[in-house]
Amino acid sequence: MSETKIISKIWILEDHQVFAKQIRSLIDREDDLECPYHFASPDEFFEKLQYTKDRPDILLLDLGLPRMDGLEVLVKVREMMPEVKVLILSAFDDRERVYRAICNGASGYLLKTADPDEILDGIQDVIHGAAALSSAIAMMILNGFAKHGPVEETEALTAREEEVLKLLVKGFIKKEIAEQLSISPHTVDMHLRSVYRMLHVGSQTEAVSKAIRQGIV
């Protein structure tokens, strides 16, 4: 008796139609993968989720999307469907976006410049529980850790400071943090200055990097 082949469902959220078509075709050529849906915008994607119980095994997510930043989509997907794995496939290769994506639950981060085999290997890695990182992204993370030196002791943050830092890591700007916590932007600034002092850093990027490296949030 032959075993039933398990087919993993991959959904794509990507606004570049030609690139999305290429990736969808690449996936559908594999015996154990299928790509039933491609969405050009977060609105289309979340609308689909409202009227179907169908869910992907993996969401291939671009970060440069219309109307909603890809990092916001990632956070929302992880809250709505924690069982769905999200693999970032983006042209953005800046350290802050990479760190925030990983901190917010992305199962991997591949660059659009990756060759087709690397993208397929990354999808298979995520399916089987491993992380998928383009070599350039992996090197960036290692270099970033090395640049900041060994993990060091930091002073304990207050509960409010931790809330501010968590929102900062998720990509919220100061005004949005103030709205989320129902406090003034001035109070947010005050908490951020305290966070920087406690973490021994001088900028938002350094605070995000250190928070992720040391598992503070």
133 three-state secondary structure: strand
- Is the fold of 8-146 the same as that of 159-213? no
* pLDDT tens per residue across span 89-106: 999 888 778 888 888 889
CA distance 170 to 23: 28
Q: Are 37 and 11 in contact (CB under 8 A)?
A: yes
Task: Report the topology of domain 159-213.
Answer: Arc Repressor Mutant, subunit A (1.10.10)
Instruction: Determine the CATH number of domain 8-146.
Output: 3.40.50.2300
Q: According to the model, what pLDDT value does residue 70 have?
A: 93
Task: Give tens-digit pLDDT for 147-201.
Answer: 555 445 556 788 898 888 888 877 777 888 889 899 988 898 898 888 888 887 7
pTM of the model: 0.70
Can you give the residue ranges of every domain in the chain?
8-146, 159-213
In angstroms, the CA 197 to CA 70 distance is: 30
CA distance 104 to 184: 25
